[in-house]
Chains A and B, each alone.
Chain A
Amino acid sequence: MNKNKKYQRLWLLPLIVSLVLFLIGINVNEPQRVLEQSWNICLSCIGIG
């Protein structure tokens, strides 16, 4: 039971780490880069060319 309780809040750790990464990404303007990439058809990505 104690082991279960320990696991119950462990999700907070990856959540906080991921949130920090997410915010760092926004801070360095990575979403804009992702957006530009996803607007183009990447031919090699889909096995063409």
Chain B
Amino acid sequence: METIRKLIQTLAALLTNGYWLFPATRNIYQGPMKIICSPGLNCYSCPASTTYCPIGAIQQLLLGVRFTLESGAFYVGSYVFGSIGLIGALTGRLTCGWLCPFGLIQELLHKIPSVKFPTIPGWLRYPKYGMLLFFVILFPLFLTNEWDMGDPWFCKYVCPAGTLEAGIPMLLLQPDLRATLGLIFYNKLFWMFVFLGWSVTTSRPFCRTTCPLGAFYGLFNRISLIQLRLDEEKCTDCGICAQVCPMGIQFNKSVGSPECIGCLRCLNEACTFGAISVKCGGLDLQALNRAGLRKAQQIQAASQIDQQGGN
């Protein structure tokens, strides 16, 4: 299942970044597909991007909302919020685990051999909600300049995906832009290196601490159509699910947690008791759950043999 997930992540990254003519055109994609919402965090100023980033689009709409309302247009972000709301209602944060290109980048970096620090302080889970509320919604809306225009605070000052996927490639494609570099870019470069470096030692640090899109999807985790469920009668509280979780949560103690990205590693690699299952609208996805149970039993049996061999 982990291989299938990696394939789907790669396919999603390629589909949302499918414009490979950019080295010739030296510009971003400007076709009609950019009306489609990227399910994961993927900068739309990335030269290869074929979809729009919902976080970028919300800020752009809100920072100029006074002008558009004065001109009689009602662009308040309902199309964008509706798009990500539909994704959230159907999948919750499962989208982060299966479709986000920046999540994939962090996972690949975490494969680099190094000392690993699986846990992060609990309070670091909360900045992402602040990012969503303040940097994506309130600051672009209310902190305006003398021309009544706001700033895209999250994109401008924080987003490491934008620096990696758009800032650096655009500087390479359009050398004239290098003359305009300043403190803002170096600040963003700093955050990009922080999160990419942190990804080597800790799994998905940006998703766990800062991502406003993950924070939004996480709000749906308890009520989304597709959910991970726990059979409390089968659970032995062995804690192995916590050892494999890339988000550092113990599933049986936090069912429906907004941190869960639905990667299914607890189902496929940890739980040998069949206590964890995937449900769609309350219906058991039996084939998936049975395959997961078999795989988890194989992995745990192999792990026990390794341990006995070591002793």
Contacts and interface: CB of A to CB of B under 8 A. Distances in A.
A48 B170 contact: yes
Interface residues of B, number: 59
Contacts of B60: 37, 42, 45
Interface residues of A, number: 40
B152 A25 contact: no
B85 A21 contact: yes
A36 to B, nearest CB: 9
Dominant secondary structure at the B interface: helix
Interface in A1-32: 4-5, 7-15, 17-26, 28-31
Contacts of B52: 34-35, 37-38
A25 B79 contact: yes
B4 interface: no
B267 interface: no
A48 B171 CA distance: 9
Given A21-B81, A42-B152, A48 B167 contact: yes
16 contacts: A15-B90, A15-B225, A18-B83, A18-B89, A21-B85, A22-B83, A30-B77, A30-B79, A34-B35, A35-B32, A35-B35, A37-B61, A38-B52, A44-B156, A47-B188, A48-B167
Interface of B: 27-28, 30, 32, 34-35, 43-45, 52-53, 56-57, 59-61, 68, 73-75, 77-86, 88-90, 151-152, 155-156, 162-163, 166-167, 170-171, 177, 180-181, 184-185, 187-189, 220, 222-225, 229, 281-282
